[in-house]
Amino acid sequence: MRKSIKVLICDDHELILTGIKQVLNGYPFIDSIISVSNGLEAVEELKKNVIHVVISDVSMPEMDGINLSEYIKKEYPKIKLIMLTQFTDMQILKQLLKNNVDGILLKGGSSNEIVDAVEKVCKGKKCYSNTIMHVIAECYAGDNQNNEIVVKLSKRENQVLELIAEEQTNKQISESLFISVPTVETYRRNLFRKFDVKNSVGLIRMAMRLGFVS
């Protein structure tokens, strides 16, 4: 991860902007923070500054977060984008996923969640809050329901799957199960292969549909 992250925060609520800035200011890997109140202002700042991470509200005047996310991923594909929303409307979430955002968090989450999200996306990982992940999984639970898929898991694979569903990191899983991190990574890859998915969101979605996790 970069050691000098430049962050742009976009939200039309001053309290939200101030709160996120206060949280991020305490971390040495954050080099500078710019804050704006809508998508159009964000576009102007992106033209003038090198930005590594954008944290944006979904609902804003002038230019909302959905349009902003589409613009950023088209014009600045290397920028990591974390969206904040107070809604779990599936149409909104589907559009954000289509726009290939790097993270989706519910407003009102813990300050640690914001910091964790910034760290994860800067390492090339996706980051969704538990609630968002489960809404997405439930929505797609009926996809391809006529296809008969048989997946057989070992006891250990089931244990790892359950902990992934709880959003535990590889390190946390290794400590919970008393196995090494590389071993956890191997189990994770095997689960992706068995469920024919590419990431953790797809894994949980498919595992829920097949009844492996609830």
**Sequence spans of domains, the chain:** 5-128, 140-209
What pTM value is reported for the model? Answer: 0.67
Residue 80 burial by CB count (10 A; 0-12/13-18/19+): exposed, middle or buried?
Answer: buried
Tens-digit pLDDT profile for the chain (214 aa)?
Answer: 556 899 999 998 888 888 899 889 878 888 899 999 999 999 999 999 999 999 999 988 888 899 999 999 999 999 999 999 987 777 788 888 889 899 999 887 777 889 999 999 998 888 888 888 877 776 665 554 444 456 788 889 999 999 998 889 999 999 999 999 999 999 998 898 888 888 888 888 888 877 787 6
Two tokens, residue 101: 């955002």
140-209: what CATH class? mainly alpha
**DSSP letter string over 121-183?**
HHTT--EE-HHHHHHHHHHGGGTTTTS-------HHHHHHHHHHHTT--HHHHHHHHT--HHH
Which element (helix H / strand E) includes 30?
A: strand 30-36
Note the CATH number of domain 5-128. Answer: 3.40.50.2300
